[in-house]
Amino acid sequence: MTDDDAQFVVVRGGLNRDAAYMTQTLIDETSGGDQPCLSVFALLPIGAESEDEVVGRVCREAGIPHGKVQRSTGARLRAAGFSLVHEVGVGEADCHYHVYFETPVTEAQMRRFIESFDPPEPNPTGGMRRRS
């Protein structure tokens, strides 16, 4: 993560803050040998844009469907021992990033990740349901 990355406003969708559940889910999802990671969305502020405005822009651009979101910053993730890796797959928003975890994934790592985010707050877009 560069110094510029510290300025990112980072958003993850949903309410889940249960470290044990999230750790086990991440272990189960990466049992095929993939590097364990979680998806987040992040953008830099434009001009004098407030953090609240950036959260709204992230939610719109990413199309986050959840009614609640959690916010952080690149600096807070870095302080918790994580970094943002810009990886956009087919059909994903350009503001999609991965946060990778060391293996084996531990509850302590997950707790640091969770605690680097504020508690859930309403999605400023109200949440958008994706259609198949």
Q: Residue 129 falls within a domain, yes or no?
A: no
Question: pTM score, two decimals?
Answer: 0.91
Q: What is the 3-state secondary structure (H, E, C) of the chain?
A: CCCHHHHCEEEEECCCCCHHHHHHHHHHHCCCCCCCEEEEEEECCCCCCCHHHHHHHHHHHHCCCCCEEEEEEHHHHHHCCCCCEECCCCCCCCCEEEEECCCCCCHHHHHHHHHCCCCCEECCCCCCCCCC
- Written as tens digits, the pLDDT of the chain (132 aa) is 455 688 999 999 999 999 999 999 999 998 878 899 999 999 999 999 999 999 999 999 999 999 999 999 999 999 999 999 999 999 999 999 999 999 999 999 999 999 999 999 999 999 865 544
Q: Residue 128 falls within a domain, yes or no?
A: no
| Tally of domains in the chain | 1
- Please give the residue range of the domain that contains residue 106: 4-122
Q: Residue 95 falls within a domain, yes or no?
A: yes
Q: Residue 131 falls within a domain, yes or no?
A: no
